[in-house]
Structure 1
Amino acid sequence: MKLELYQIDAFTEEIFHGNPACVVPLKNWLPDEILLKIARENAVAETAFFIDNGNTIHLRWFTPEIEMDLCGHATLATAHCLASILNYQSSRMVFQTRSGELTVEVKDGMYYMDFPSRMPEKSALPDIISQSLNIQPKEVFQSRDYVLVYESEEDIKNIKIERSVFDLINLDPGGVVVTAAGTDSDFVSRYFTPQSSILEDPVTGSAHCSLIPLWSSRLGKDKLFARQLSERGGELYCENKKERVIVAGKARTYSEGYFRIE
């Protein structure tokens, strides 16, 4: 069987930046174990598989380890693949996913993703997470992910993870996001996933489902600009809409090709 494969850098205007995702169009669903093996072979943070049903698009996301409930950068990459490579005829895309119906609007090279809001609640920091961090947060929240708020952007840049301790944490399918107010953005973040082949996710759209309502309430504004401070870096244009959030960004195609499975 010969399948198309596209690799796209999301939340960036340049290749080798943002978060790389692989996108695989399908006609019919393959067994989950095959989808997982393909994701492992691709060896990026997420591989998106989709079937275009006409009015809606069935979309699933796989890391090299598990199927995810929500993934921002691979959704953006899929929308970019459809719009810029596969000549999708509408500027509005409707995806059916494990997180319900998600829409993406395409305008002037920007992809506006309509995601569920996940306002985090005050929480205690588990000792195992605390022991894995070289700098301790000033506040702790939790939704799907633990959200650790720090004093400054410099703290976020300087955070180091003791992986031998961090990998003892079981947050399937969540992770730990560290965040602070930005110097040339409204807020910054980094995202870490325990027991994952990729410890630090370059740009994490789904984490902004919690970061947007949190920072919107703190800064008193609904439209925000965010940066993720990974080595590759990424830029996110955000809007708080109470029950929903808009997470927007750009993308660039890195590669187009095929692969075969027996």
Structure 2
Amino acid sequence: MRIRIVDAFSARPFTGNPAGVVLLDSGAFPDTAWLQQVATEVNLSETAFAHPLPEGGDADWALRWLTPAAEVNMCGHATLATAHVLHTTGTATGTVRFRTRSGVLTTTADTGGAITMDFPTAPLTPVEVPPVVAEALGCEIRSAHDTGPDVGDLLVELPDEKAVRALSPDLKALAGHGGRGVIATARADDPAGGHDFVSRCFFPAVGIDEDPVTGSAHTALAPFWSARLGRAALVGLQGAARTGYVRTELRGDRTLLTGSAVTVIDGELLVTG
């Protein structure tokens, strides 16, 4: 069984967000315990598992995402990585529909290799800043929003880009907050710098101290910044040690996320489920 590691939201190896991708030959998933063992062994923020579905249905592939500690409802970068593998191996062309915990998600590849994902827009609800989050981040927080059950994060707005880059949160405290984690964001300091907003994502509760580039978070970041900047199409820059760009566009109740990917490891999984 082949297993690949793909750097998502970047066209350059060793940047963006790495994800494991396992394409299964059978028409069903192995036992969940085995999937979790593989994801824990791979030890990346997410490993994606996909198997083909019968023709004529509402989706082409079934897709699940697991962190080293738990299964999650949505993962953008591992979806992008899976679509990239399907296209680069000739397994799929054009549009691919994935059946997931969050419904049917659609990806479309262009001739240049970029992949656009069609995800549901996260519902944003203003909330008070939880004291544990304020203490864990240790900086001024301008606003906080709940991002709904699919994303499951708390989105917090910081004063500026420098504040986001300087974050060194108390991860143990954040892990006890509840939900998947925290998205910290701010408007870009330089509007001419190639991006409109910045973000960093911390998910210690699911075994990820910091996720380099998080597609699902941008289903919340896109409507948040679109409302403030007055544009439907935006570019987000995420990360610290590793960074990547996500192009976002709001279309009704959907968010289009576009990025590139590159396969860096292609190997064999010797233990089957």
TM-score, normalised via structure 2 length: 0.91
AA aligned opposite 2:6: I
AA aligned opposite 2:105: L
Which consecutive unaligned segments of at least 5 residues does structure 1 have? Answer: none
AA aligned opposite 1:218: R
Q: Closer, same or farther in 2 for the Cα pair 1:244/1:237, shift >3 Å? A: same
Match 1:192 to one of 202, 214, 217: 202
AA aligned opposite 1:177: I
AA aligned opposite 2:123: M
| Distance of 1:188 and 1:241 partners within structure 2 | 21
AA aligned opposite 1:80: H
**Helix, strand or coil for the counterpart of 2:269?**
strand
**Helix, strand or coil for the counterpart of 2:88?**
helix
In terms of mean alpha carbon deviation, does 134-143 or 211-220 score higher? Answer: 134-143
Match 1:148 to one of 145, 149, 156: 156
Q: Which residue of 2 aligns with 1:88?
A: 91
Q: Which residue of 2 aligns with 1:237?
A: 247
Q: Which residue of 1 aligns with 2:38?
A: 38
AA aligned opposite 1:16: F
Q: Which residue of 1 aligns with 2:234?
A: 224
* Structure 1 residues 50-96: Cα deviation after superposition (integer angstroms, max 9, x where no partner): 001254110000001111100000000000000012x0242100101
AA aligned opposite 1:162: D
Matched pairs, number? 257
Q: Closer, same or farther in 2 for the Cα pair 1:142/1:4, shift >3 Å? A: same
User: Percentage identity across aligned positions?
Assistant: 35
Q: CA deviation at 1:169?
A: 2.1
Structure 1 stretches of 4+ moved >4 Å: none
| Distance of 1:168 and 1:119 partners within structure 2 | 23
Q: CA deviation at 1:230?
A: 2.3
| Distance of 1:167 and 1:57 partners within structure 2 | 33
* Structure 1 residues 2-30: Cα deviation after superposition (integer angstroms, max 9, x where no partner): x1101000001111100000000112311
Match 1:178 to one of 176, 184, 189: 184
Q: Do 2:10 and 2:262's aligned partners in 1 also have CA atoms closer than 8 Å?
A: yes
| Distance of 1:244 and 1:166 partners within structure 2 | 29
Kindly report the root-mean-square deviation, in angstroms, between the aligned alpha carbons of the 2 structures: 1.2
